[in-house]
Structure 1
Amino acid sequence: MLWGGKPRSRFGKWLDKNEINQIELERASKLSSGTVSKLCNDKQYRPKLATIHKLNKGLGKIGKNIDVEDFFC
């Protein structure tokens, strides 16, 4: 959990571990705050392929090249 709030998804925990905040990810990936929030907090959320592509591209912009499909498949 983060700050005693909602439990984080595996992706949310990975962001926390790598000290990437959600706002930074929103800006780099051009995803909405609602989408990034779901990615980070909703363990049941399965993003569309287009969202995964934007996420990968955004993470690349901030120097984190991972395969985010590992988190959502």
Structure 2
Amino acid sequence: MFGLGKQRTKLGKWLDQRGITQAWLMKETGLNKNTISELTSDKDRSPTLKTMQKIIKALRKVDSSVNSNNFWDV
């Protein structure tokens, strides 16, 4: 099971529930491993607008109803 014992953000929990790996998200977005890791585990970390757009675009390949409000207060 994904996410065992880890602190997770809303994004991290969403990925875990769907069995999506951070590596997949990294590949789809072209973002750095550390950026993805921080956004899935650090509740105080907020993405830039450009990073947010890349993540949402990738996640919409899995669920077309996803939007940034699902994960971050914007």
With the length of structure 1 as denominator, give the TM-score of the two structures.
Answer: 0.83
- Number of residue pairs aligned between Structure 1 and Structure 2: 71
CA separation in 2, counterparts of 1:29 and 1:45?
A: 18
Quick check: 1:8–1:41 contact (8 Å CA) kept in 2? yes
Quick check: 1:12–1:40 contact (8 Å CA) kept in 2? yes
Quick check: 1:52–1:69 contact (8 Å CA) kept in 2? no
**2:8 paired with 1:3:** no
1:59 corresponds in structure 2 to 59
Q: Deviations over 1:6-57 (max 9, x none)?
A: 3111110111001111000110111111111011000111111001111111
Structure 2: unaligned runs, 5 residues or longer: none
| 1:59, distance to aligned residue in structure 2 (A) | 1.6
1:16 corresponds in structure 2 to 16
Structure 1: unaligned runs, 5 residues or longer: none
CA separation in 1, counterparts of 2:51 and 2:69?
A: 10
Query: How many percent identity over aligned positions?
Result: 34
Question: CA RMSD, aligned part only?
Answer: 1.7
Amino acid of the residue matched to residue 26 of structure 1?
A: M
